[in-house]
Amino acid sequence: MPVQVSGVETTGTAIGGDVTTNGVGDVFAIWPDTDSRGLFLVKSTNGGVAFSKARRIAVTFGGYQIRVPAFAKRAALIGVSIAAFRTGSRDDVFASWIDLSGSGGCTTPDDEPGDEVTSKCTSKVWFSRSTDGGETWESPKKINDQGSLNDQFNQRLAIDPISGTLGIVYYDTGADARRKSTNLLFQASADFGMTWSTATKVTSSMTDETIVNADRGNQYGDYNGLTVTGDIFFPSWTDRRSNAFEEIYTARITVKRDATGNAIVTVAE
């Protein structure tokens, strides 16, 4: 029988959520609330039979979605992604989401850039982690704040269940001065989210979903995908490099560690 996990804490719409498990079977569900702008988490330690009371782990600047120049008709969903990792010595939970940059003039839904390519307000990938099974959470941080007028959106987070290597993908407009075409970028963390590798470009050609023959009613959609095994990550994303119909692409991304333990990322050609 379905189990409702949201409650009175969600005063608006719960949309753009995610669910995951760790190695011992704990279940975590997470979602944004469009009214309070809170990100809420629940946990089950009995296989999803019952869940804890919702805990607010962060508050977003934006609400529901963010209009950016790379979308012609839609907007970037704030949607949250979750991953969990547990061993005899660790009990970590990780969350990532899209939000406004939080800099001056970019802290409320009214500040979002819309179709203004010169707007100083941008969307960025945010990340937080808990090292005690979801009880307490670190202050959110941006994992790749280039400090330029580029937008990031449609992030997806995953963790290798054996090694604990974290990976994240997202679209980024930084290589287009028009702020409309995107590449898919990947970053990895070999220290459970404390530090992240330099962003690596996954795509070999950019995508523009704003031109007239794009599927501007749907565009990028709301989500990308990411999975991992043996420190080899496979993302999935929408791509229309052919300037015809949107297609789904993937790539093989390998993460290794150098002599000091830093993540080294390689994208197969």
* 4-53 pLDDT, tens digit each: 999 999 999 999 999 999 999 999 999 999 999 999 999 999 999 999 99
CA neighbor of 172 nearest in space, from 141, 140, 199? 199
CA neighbor of 154 nearest in space, from 115, 123, 121, 112? 123
Domain positions in the chain: 18-267
Topology of the domain comprising 18-267: Tachylectin-2; Chain A (2.115.10)
The pLDDT of residue 72: 86
Strands (E), the chain: 18-21, 27-32, 38-44, 55-59, 65-66, 76-77, 80-86, 91-100, 123-130, 141-142, 152-159, 166-172, 181-189, 200-201, 207-208, 225-229, 232-239, 247-250, 253-257, 263-267
The pLDDT of residue 216: 82
CA neighbor of 214 nearest in space, from 262, 181, 250, 172? 181
In contact, 13 and 64? CB cutoff 8 Å:
yes
- Give 82-136 pLDDT, tens digit per residue: 999 999 999 999 999 999 999 999 999 999 999 999 999 999 999 999 999 999 9
Q: Tokens 């963390």, residue?
A: 189
Amino acid at 143: I
Q: H-type helices in the chain, by residue range?
A: none
This model's pTM is above 0.85 = yes
